[in-house]
Chain A
């Protein structure tokens, strides 16, 4: 090995990987006071202590994961992706700034930059929103114009935040940020209560089937921490929730500016008995959100080493992809669609060796028993839970382009790893974004409109309803000339599933 190369000394054990991922936790003292407002006194950027339901900072390390750096098996650190939405002045960016600041994920140079800009424009007041408003136009206009991604960690979880703008005209960015989220935070200004934007964002979260929703009632300081006001807003919200399709909704009274109930619980809301916002984010159960029902492997790439001279490789013909649903096991019978050929999984290859089984969303390479013609855009599925297939499709759509969609337009459609031509045969109706009720669409679908459409594709899609599978039920539309991304589509459940004929062949 050359002098310039170094390699870590010992292989990492699974247990030490987990503990090793947060060496910073060792710097947390049991009496670590939180939240600390004076950043000069903070103990570096050690991940924040788990935000528990405890009102007393001294109880912070009483949480189960507080001893994550100690020996013994601990739960692996997982990842929660969430987005924040609200209207222009609801304080989204301030809330994110607060989460980063109080969880000690902000660095000194970032704070210095904030302080510099505070001196320049903020009259000395630090503006936490400047942390996420990364583009010059945003800082100048004081708005957020695009999805910004932020990262922070606590000993319990790693987090990816998508900060999505609240202006009506930027709904496409909210759909973008929300499409990969496990959880959505809708910010409501305690003074103005539930407004059209709140309903709109909640409806989009429902449409995109984000499993968890948090309604953060912000600026509680401006309504004197009134429990009555909080309950009023909750009741308003709950009035339209039954029309939506969200399983898990939590209401939390906060002040993002002051940090109350954001990382730790505030003594200003003794009537509130739930967790702090971060406490909820750290503990909300997301493991069962993943789709382990029905094996789906869209073929991304055919792995064929061109090595006729290598006996181990000259036969190797792998099918590579990321599982979009279910579990695949060695020896399992599978069918390749749309060709309909049935075969078995001979081996599941990964760079780290062969495995007995793999699950969604792992990336794998399958070796199949028969040497069949297979290529990108096809899908390997299990026999027990078959998908739909067809060229005539119905879908809900979020239109994202200034030029309105009208029936008859020819477009490109990308679904899993397949891109095919599609024609919009009909716009069934427009969906009212605040109520999700159907309405007329005489002029087609305009920018930021939601609607229901019928489509015909040149190649059959192998798909599930979006309700069943967020990956095999989703597609995007692309302008064949400009290549702009025009729309996000969510397929309605297939009317008929793929079925074997009397010979046991799958014909669609």
Chain B
């Protein structure tokens, strides 16, 4: 599946300034493998020492939190747009 990944500005120094990347990936694990290959410096920022997605990194697929879509088991659809966004809060309290 051909999908697009948006790289947030603070991480673009690790992707040689690349703001987004179109690549082939069937699921999240394949996407990470592709990113690891393409931008080796990015790896430790996205996953912890145990290989888990970092707690405060939210991953969205077409504006939906990937955890609502099945997380790592979600199969990407052609043209999916993936966002990597640090967790922030606000709201009332």
Are A and B genuine complex partners?
no
Residue numbers of A with Cβ under 8 A of B are none
Residue numbers of B with Cβ under 8 A of A are none
